[in-house]
Structure 1
Amino acid sequence: MARVKVKKQSTFIDMTAMSDVTVLLLTFFMLTSTFIQKEPIQVSTPASVMEIKIPETDILQILVDNDGKVFMSMDKQEDRVAVLEKMGEEYGITFTPEEVNKFRLAPSFGVPIGQMRSFLALPEDEQDKILKDYGIPTDSTDNQLKSWVKNARLQNRDLRIAIKADQATPYPIINTIMTSLQDIRENRYNLITTLKVVSTDN
């Protein structure tokens, strides 16, 4: 008996649904992701067992390296610009619109206010290279950190202050930062730490 030859047909799989799901997942992750801001220095924060989530908005972060250099960042560009203008008024410095716009786009800052104009005149890549060599003055004769924080508070009453310091930073330096905040009646602030893993072994 002769065998019946079945004609081969190509298999077709509709990938439309898969493409839709992929696009939806990609959109979801893009909209919910939080991008890490560029920081002028890398710090290794101390470990702690306390777990309190710091809000993602209305944050003024004070970054301290192990040499005691202080930098700051604010999450809202409008607040940044307003604080710079207030600092200019306080120290008798007028910033051009171009300088203000450059400062608006800077994620972190940490230059003595007297050198801010010359710093902002530099290209962005040059700013990134030399910013770590500066730092906001915190000494008793010219404590500009107090002025920055005070003007930031005037601009945004809901501001939360967070101190992020390297674990090798000497305590007297941290104490100077905390004393500066207390001098302007900023007694509530968070210390950013790394979560310490607690062993459950007996």
Structure 2
Amino acid sequence: MPKIKLPRKSTHIDMTAMCDVAFLLLTFFMLATKFKPDEPVVVTTPASTSTKQIPEGFMQITLDKDGRIFFAVDNINAKRDIINQINDDKKLGLSSVEMQNFVNGSGVGVPFSQLKSYLALAPNQRADYDKKAPGIPTDTTGDFTTNELAYWVQTARYHVDNGKGRIAIKADGKASYPNISKVISTLGKQKVFRFSFITDMKGVPPGTALAAERAGKPAAE
């Protein structure tokens, strides 16, 4: 008996819908992605086992190994209000371009007396200057004249989440304790007793109580 051969038909899949979805997703991520500016100074933070993440919109105090202090805010709208108030309070005479440079920048580490000339620099010039910037003047008092970090903290807190913005300290592992103490004392003078330290992630040592807790097992007695 002769075999009956069925005609072969090629399978056609319309990829138009998939291409449309792919381009829509690509467009969404391109428009929604928030690019973080480079930090003004590179610090090597100590390691810890904490997995808690800092929410967006926080204020960051960076302390390098030489004791220089930089201040940054992760909120574009708040940064505009902050620099407007600083310009009025300190009578700096900042231009609109200089204030926009502050909004677009990653942070500052200069005294108020140098802020105008610093913000007048081009982005690449500011990056070079950050390597030798003196840092924000800080001491253990709450006097805005000598402790300019205290003024930055108070002004930023007023504009970030109505005073509820979180503060994070990013200190170099080689930073001296007296310099770290000045930052903590400054926060205390501003009635800020809850803040976070930014650290690098490290593995939990096996056999410890924390390892047992994360594994959902009772700790060994």
State how 1:41-190 maps to structure 2 within 5 Å: 41-57=41-57, 59-134=58-133, 135-139=135-139, 142-156=146-160, 157-190=163-196
* Equivalent position of 1:36 in the other structure: 36
2:117 maps to amino acid: S
> Displacement of 1:11 after TM fit?
8.4
Q: 2:139 & 2:172 partners in 1: Cα distance?
A: 19
SS of alignment partner, residue 133 of structure 1: coil
Q: 2:100 & 2:33 partners in 1: Cα distance?
A: 26
Structure of greater relative contact order (alpha carbons < 8 Å, 6+ residues apart): 1
Q: What is the CA deviation profile of residues 161-201 of structure 1, one whole-angstrom value per residue up to 9, with x for unaligned ones?
A: 01011112122211111111112211111111112201326
Q: Retained in 1: the 8 A contact 2:37–2:105?
A: no
Q: 1:49 to 1:91 in 2, by over 3 A?
A: same
* Equivalent position of 2:6 in the other structure: none
- Under a length normalisation based on structure 1, what TM-score does the superposition of the two structures give? 0.82
Q: 1:101 to 1:31 in 2, by over 3 A?
A: closer
Q: 2:184 & 2:103 partners in 1: Cα distance?
A: 27
Q: 1:34 to 1:167 in 2, by over 3 A?
A: farther
* Equivalent position of 2:197 in the other structure: 191
Quote the RMSD (CA, aligned, Å).
Answer: 2.7
Q: 1:24 & 1:85 partners in 2: Cα distance?
A: 38
Q: What is the CA deviation profile of residues 50-87 of structure 1, one whole-angstrom value per residue up to 9, with x for unaligned ones?
A: 22221112x10111111111111112223223222333
> Please, which runs of 5 or more residues in structure 1 have no aligned partner?
1-8
Q: Retained in 2: the 8 A contact 1:71–1:108?
A: yes
